[in-house]
Structure 1
Amino acid sequence: MLRTLSSVSLLIGLHAIAVTANKPPIIQGPITVGTKGHPFSAYAGNISSIGYVEEEFFLSGDAVRYNVVGNLTSDGHWTLSYNSTASYKTRMLIRRPLDHKRFNGDVLVEWINVSGGFDITSTDLPGVYEAGYIWASIDAQATGIEGGATNPQGLIQWDPVRYGTLNIPDDAISYDIVSQAASVLRSGNVTGGQIPEHAILVGASQSGSRVLGYTNGVQPLNGSYDAIIPAICAGASSDFSPVPAHPTPGQSGRTVATNSSGVMDYVRDADGNTKGGIRLPELAVPVAGYNGINNGLSGNTYPFSDSKLNALYPTHQEYVAKVKAAAYASLHEKVILEYQVKNYTRAAEVANVPPQCTSS
C-alpha cells in the first residue's frame, strides 16, 4: 500500500488539537436533495468499484475574521489577531474507504480552487484511493457558492434546490472555515466513524495561494493541520481581505516579466513545447504541442499531424518503449508515483501512435 504523503507531516511541526474562537459547526447530511441527483464535482465513475463511498455534508456556524498585526513580511512569519465573526453555511464533499481496514489514517483536505468562477478540485487522483486516504474538499470562498460577477456558475446556479441555502459572506472568514473543517473531520462524525491520525491541507493555484497565507498566519494560532501542501501557486500567498477571489484578475493584479524588447519569450523546442522544467512523459515523448499561456486557465493543445507522428515514432513498439522509459525516468526523479508508470505504459499501448489505418 502506498503511503506517499505520510512524510509531509514533517513540514508542520504542530500537532495541537484544532481550535477556533467559535463553537463547532452544525453538521447536516449526508445531503441527498437536489435536481441533479448528485453533488457538484462528484466522483467520475462508479466509486463503489474502487471500494469507496462519497457523501456530502453541509457545515454551518460562525467563523473568525483576522486582523494583520504589523506587515505581511516575505519571511512568512506573520502575526494575526481576532477581528470579528460572521455566520456561514457551506459544503464538504467526502470520499472514504468502505472498509475501515483500508483507511491509512490520513485525511487529505482540499481547499477548493475557484479560479474559474466555480469549484475546481485537483488532488483526487487514483493514488489517493489506492493508498487508502480519506479525501475531503471544503468550499471556503464566496465565489464557489455564488459564482463570479459575470456569467455566474457557482453551486447555487448549478443546483439551487440543493445549494440555495449556502452562504459565505466574504473571503475573510475562509481561513477559519478551513480550520473548522479539520476539526469536523477529526471528530469522525462525517467519516463513517473513521478517526484520522493526520489531517493534511492541500490547495492548488488560487487556493494554493490561500493555503500559503494560512500556513504563515493561521496555522501557528491553532495547529489545525499536521502537514500543509501548497501547489501550483508560484510562491505567492493571499492576504486576509474580505474581498472575494476574482476569477479573472485585472491588469493591476498581474506581474509580467519582459526582456529588452518588451516581449515575454519562452524558449521552445522543435515541437513547440517549452524547454526546461519537469519533463513528464507527455513532454518527453510528445504527441502534440502545448501552450498554457494564451487561453486563460485552459491553454491550448495542437495535435501533431499523422506524418509528424510517423516520423517521430516509426513503430508502435518504439513509441511504447519511449513512453515507458520516460515514465521510469520521471519515477527516478521522484516527480511521479510508481503506479503512474503502469498507467503511462497502458495508455501508450492502446494509443493509435503512430496512426494506423482502420477499416470503417
Structure 2
Amino acid sequence: MNRAMKFILLMGLVSLFGDITYEGARSIVGPYLATFGLTAAAIGLITGFGEFAGYGLRLLSGYIADRTGNYWLLTFLGYSLILAIPLLAFANYWWIAALLIVAERLGKAIRTPARDAMLSFATKQVGRGTGFGIHEAMDQVGAVIGPLIVFSALAGYTFKEAFIALFLPALLVILFLFATWKLYPTPQRFEIEEQESRVEGSFWLYSLFVFLSVAGFLSFPLLSYHLAGYVDLKLIPLLYALAMGIDAISALISGRCYDRIGLKTLMLVPLLTPLILLALHPSIIGVLVGVAAWGAVMGMHEAITRAAVADLTGVKKRSTAYGVFNTVFGVAMLAGGAVLGYLYDISAALLVGFVLVVEVAAFATLLMLGRT
C-alpha cells in the first residue's frame, strides 16, 4: 500500500469518528432542543443558521487555506470544534446549547476546504474517484454507527448520557488527526502541479451543473416528512440507514467509474435524481426504489463531484475551489429545499415538473462542459 492510500485511509478514519459524533447528535438535536421549551420555529432557526454557517463560510476558509498554505492548522481548528457535541450534555440553558450546535457547524466550515484539498493531493496518485469514494464510504460508516449509539444510549438513559457517549469518538477524531499530521506533515507533496489553471475556465460551468443538480435533489428531511404520513415512524430511521449504506456503496462504485471515464460518470446524477420522486408514491416498491436512489445520488455527490473539482483546478487554488464548490452546494440545498418544500404544499405535479426541468438543465450543462 503506497503512502497516498495510507493517508486517505487515515483521513477516512478521522471522518468516520467525526460522523459518529455529529451525525449521532444530529439525530436527536430536534427533540433535545425541545426540552428547553423551544418552538419548532426556534429549533428550525437554530439548526438552519448552523447549516447556513457551515456552508457559507467555506468560501472564506478555503481562500485562507490557499493564501497561507496552513492546511493542517485550519483542519485541526475545524475538527477541534467537534468537541462542542459532547459538551451539550452540560448545557443548562437553550442559548448555550444553540451556541454549541452552531459552533460544531462552524468547525465543519473551517476544516472542509483544507481537508478536501489535502485529500485531492493524495487522490492524484490512487485515482480521484477511487480516493474520494473510499473516503466517503468510511464517512458513511460513521453516519450509520453514530445514530445507533445514540439510540442505544436513549434506550435506558437521558439526552445527557447520550451526548456523553459521543465524547470517545470525538476524542478519537483528534487523536487520529494528530497521528496523520505527524506521519504526513506536507500532503501537498503528493501532487506536483503540471500546468496551473489548465482547465479552470470550465470550473464555473461545472459549478452551474452542481447548483442545478443539487437544486432538484429532494432532501431526506422533506422525504421523511412525507413518509411519516403512511410509513411507521420506527421504520424511517431504518430507511435512512439503508440510504446511508447505499451511499457508501455508490461512492465506491461511481468513484472507480470516474477514474475510467471521467466527467461522463456525472451524467448519472441528473439521470437518477428524478427516481427519488418514486418514494412519494405510497407503495413499498416506490419507497424502496426512491430511498435507494437518494442514497446512490448522495454517494455520487460526495465522491465524484468532489473528485471533479480537483481535476478542474490547479494545486495553488484547490482550497479556494473547494470553498466555492461547497458554498454553491449549500446555496443550492437552501434554494432548492425552499422551492421543493413550497411546491410540495401546493402540487405534487409542480414538484415533479420542477425536478425534471432543473435536472434536464443540469444534464445539458454537463454536455456543454464536455465540449469545453
Fold shared by both chains (TM-score > 0.5): no
TM bracket, shorter-chain basis: under 0.3
Greater percentage in strand: 1
Indicate the structure (1 or 2) with the bigger Cα radius of gyration: 1
TM-score (structure 2 length as normaliser):
0.22
TM-score between the two structures when normalised by the length of structure 1: 0.22
Q: Whose relative contact order is higher, 1 or 2, with alpha carbons under 8 Å and at least 6 apart?
A: 2
Greater helix share, structure number: 2
